[in-house]
Chain A
């Protein structure tokens, strides 16, 4: 199987280039992560992040034939050859497939991604009905891989101002939590031309999310809540 992989090492390369690799033995059911590990055995200088190998840690997001995804849960049998692997678009490259995610994490922090309560703490758990808890399904599973935000044109243009689909999904995760008591401050923080309303429902985020989550839908819920709240 043939691969073309983006290579750039600022130590030695003046500019990025695509390197061709051939994987001789394609095992049945092989995932892209295993293929990259095999290719690294051919050329140890190929750098990429990876860890759990089962789509839960969110380390190995890359751009695969033009689409963002997790290498460890992408079967290579389904990919057109030569398989083109590039780093996430729109974010600085550190080396090869490794990108600088610090802007993405900064936007995550900006939405106060933690439960805020003002009531005194009870001596046991806060109660939450199964129906209230169901509202967090499709939200709490986000693994912060960055596939969505780095596929979002609004995030490409304004990575320093627009929180991006991942951070906005996190914001809704807390707005939707019956236990959270900071709705007003969360909504206030998302008002303005570069925040919530910079989402133009292009829906790349939902299309690429490897966990099947839908940030556009979450953003729609926040917009509806904001509207309801302002009238």
Chain B
């Protein structure tokens, strides 16, 4: 098999905010950079982020990065790595200013400065009064940021491979990562892209679940590629359910709706968050609010004919605030629910939203894995940033507004480290032919003809299984069954056949490759969840209701090839300030 080869200094997989921020840094430094994306860049899911990006600009209320750091550590339920969190919170203001200079149309205050709104889990002076830290462009902040970053990459003449699907990583005999095998979707032809470094910035895997705020493309391709390359995934049991997805449908209603003054009520019209978070009420952390909604519904206080959701009230805010600050979710409500939130409450329910776990990296974006005595040995040439990575700044629960920040900070950090790597590694190395052959085999396997199950049937069962066995509340029994169910589903994949054998823009084939990726991540998530015998952040166990810092203040590492779990300690020592030791988490 003679596969054509293209060579670049540096390769980025994924054209969301993380990939594009990194690409911009590299292109501006005159590195020859290629960005591979399975969709045109502005279709990437960063575009759907609504509420904003956290940075202690103090434009509205007093603020500083150290308070932001405290909130992030507490929000993470003390599983976040404090060196990375300090780095992120310190970098935040500078990176938001940079975005503004690049052209992001942030909403503005009367002073002319960037508009900021309160978000969940934000405080002043280490747990004091509510902070106002989330920088917003109405409720379309992700759209504004993604388009601006793409525009600046046009200016920097970054090389894009649009609608090009990455299949598997390639490396040399020493394990140095040297690029990727791809498929051009329009022609179905394979292409090897060789590079001295590869940054995985492929985003999340919300398509694991049936009801999700995530797009069709969020299938965890990069995470699964890492797993298959022998790299473990970290903390996959921590999957965030956003408190306010539209009930039964899943479209996201931004936390900014509560930041602007909206609140949740049950069927009795009771503002129930007062019972669960007496101080900050509806602006508690997402895991807390999602659990509260689930309990209200479980105990019979849900709304609607099936008592299966609660209501988000914005009708007291007035049409000016809704029109000015929340125009996007107003459109979404009108389109999908035929209701106007200016006068009618929105039915909402916790909806699968964000993977806190992912490919383990350090704060330079370098992928790290256990090797010999070291729990964090660098995998040469390989980087990861954004939702597909686990730095870990989100720990067991991410704060709203910290994901846009994460992609900017660590996209840029990875690019800066890559520039150093390129200086010391001037020449391309020859890749190992076996690993290219193996990647090609995975690609070509879908050309097998004949009768068999459809991709769609298996994917539907997988999503149902994850919803049933790995949701907001978990128990030993439910998760053990889940492992068996997922294993049985995985065993069906070799017998799946494609009826569409065309090479031209074959989306069925893309979906088949995505199904394999989802199946690998599903087992990593299920196994990591079943093993963790405590409740922490988004991982809530009915049979182990408390956090257990003695046994479980550690990161999980799941390895696919031998189906095993390993653990490594949390990095509790920040870069320059005192550690925030674990405390009981109250909001």
- Chain A contacts to B: CB under 8 angstroms: 9-12, 29, 31, 40-41, 44-45, 47-59, 73, 94-96, 98, 101, 105, 109, 112-115, 117, 121, 123-130, 132-133, 136, 140-141, 143-144, 174, 177, 179
Most buried by B among A112, A124, A179: A124
Q: A9-B502, A54-B332, A95-B505 are in contact. Are A133 and B48 (CB under 8 A)?
A: no
Most buried by A among B101, B103, B332, B454: B103
Among residues of B, the one whose C-beta sits closest to the C-beta of A41 is B456
Q: Are B108 and A133 in contact (CB under 8 A)?
A: yes
- C-alpha spacing A132/B154, complex, angstroms: 26
Q: Are B105 and A177 in contact (CB under 8 A)?
A: yes
Interface string of B75-99 (1 = CB under 8 A from A): 0000000000000000000001100
- A-B pairs with beta carbons under 8 Å apart, 13 shown: A31-B336, A51-B45, A54-B335, A115-B151, A125-B96, A127-B113, A128-B112, A129-B108, A133-B107, A136-B105, A140-B137, A140-B147, A144-B40
Interface string of B499-526 (1 = CB under 8 A from A): 1101111111000000000000000000
Q: Are A10 and B108 in contact (CB under 8 A)?
A: no
- C-alpha spacing A115/B503, complex, angstroms: 40
- C-alpha spacing A29/B456, complex, angstroms: 22
- C-alpha spacing A45/B152, complex, angstroms: 37
- Chain B residues closer than 8 Å to A132, beta-carbon distance: 108
CB distance from A114 to the nearest CB of B (A): 4
Q: A51-B217, A59-B39, A143-B42 are in contact. Are A125 and B97 (CB under 8 A)?
A: yes
Q: A114-B155, A177-B103 are in contact. Are A44 and B500 (CB under 8 A)?
A: yes
- C-alpha spacing A115/B504, complex, angstroms: 37
Q: A94-B186, A127-B113 are in contact. Are A51 and B505 (CB under 8 A)?
A: no
- Chain A residues closer than 8 Å to B113, beta-carbon distance: 124-125, 127
| B215 at the binding interface (Cβ < 8 Å) | yes
| B174 at the binding interface (Cβ < 8 Å) | no
Most buried by B among A56, A73, A128, A140: A56
Q: Are B454 and A54 in contact (CB under 8 A)?
A: no
- Chain B residues closer than 8 Å to A130, beta-carbon distance: 107-110
- C-alpha spacing A94/B186, complex, angstroms: 7
Q: A53-B215, A57-B48, A59-B43 are in contact. Are A115 and B102 (CB under 8 A)?
A: yes
Among residues of A, the one whose C-beta sits closest to the C-beta of B38 is A51
Q: Are B506 and A47 in contact (CB under 8 A)?
A: yes
Of A48, A117, A179, the residue contacting B507 (CB under 8 A) is A48
Among residues of A, the one whose C-beta sits closest to the C-beta of B137 is A140
| B114 at the binding interface (Cβ < 8 Å) | yes
| B251 at the binding interface (Cβ < 8 Å) | yes
Pick the 6 closest A-B CB pairs, nearest first.
A115-B103, A127-B112, A114-B151, A125-B100, A52-B215, A45-B500
CB distance from A131 to the nearest CB of B (A): 9
Q: A52-B215, A117-B101 are in contact. Are A44 and B40 (CB under 8 A)?
A: no
Among residues of B, the one whose C-beta sits closest to the C-beta of A74 is B335
CB distance from A103 to the nearest CB of B (A): 13
- Chain B residues closer than 8 Å to A51, beta-carbon distance: 39, 43, 45, 215-217
- C-alpha spacing A52/B114, complex, angstroms: 28
Q: Are A109 and B154 in contact (CB under 8 A)?
A: yes
Of A40, A49, A54, the residue contacting B251 (CB under 8 A) is A54
| B498 at the binding interface (Cβ < 8 Å) | yes
| B47 at the binding interface (Cβ < 8 Å) | yes
- C-alpha spacing A13/B40, complex, angstroms: 27
- Chain B residues closer than 8 Å to A141, beta-carbon distance: 140, 143
- C-alpha spacing A139/B310, complex, angstroms: 35
- C-alpha spacing A231/B332, complex, angstroms: 45
Interface string of B102-136 (1 = CB under 8 A from A): 11011111111110000000000000000000000
Interface string of B31-51 (1 = CB under 8 A from A): 000000001101111011000
- C-alpha spacing A92/B375, complex, angstroms: 53
| B144 at the binding interface (Cβ < 8 Å) | yes
- Chain A residues closer than 8 Å to B502, beta-carbon distance: 9, 11-12, 45, 95
Since A11-B502, A179-B103 are in contact, a sample of 16 more A-B pairs with Cβ atoms closer than 8 Å, ordered by chain A residue number, is: A31-B336, A41-B456, A45-B499, A45-B500, A45-B508, A47-B505, A50-B216, A51-B215, A54-B252, A57-B44, A58-B42, A113-B154, A130-B110, A133-B107, A140-B137, A140-B147
Of B100, B148, B454, the residue contacting A126 (CB under 8 A) is B100
- C-alpha spacing A37/B100, complex, angstroms: 39
- C-alpha spacing A10/B532, complex, angstroms: 52
- C-alpha spacing A117/B155, complex, angstroms: 13
Q: Are B335 and A55 in contact (CB under 8 A)?
A: yes
Q: Are A124 and B97 in contact (CB under 8 A)?
A: yes
Among residues of A, the one whose C-beta sits closest to the C-beta of B249 is A29
- C-alpha spacing A126/B148, complex, angstroms: 16
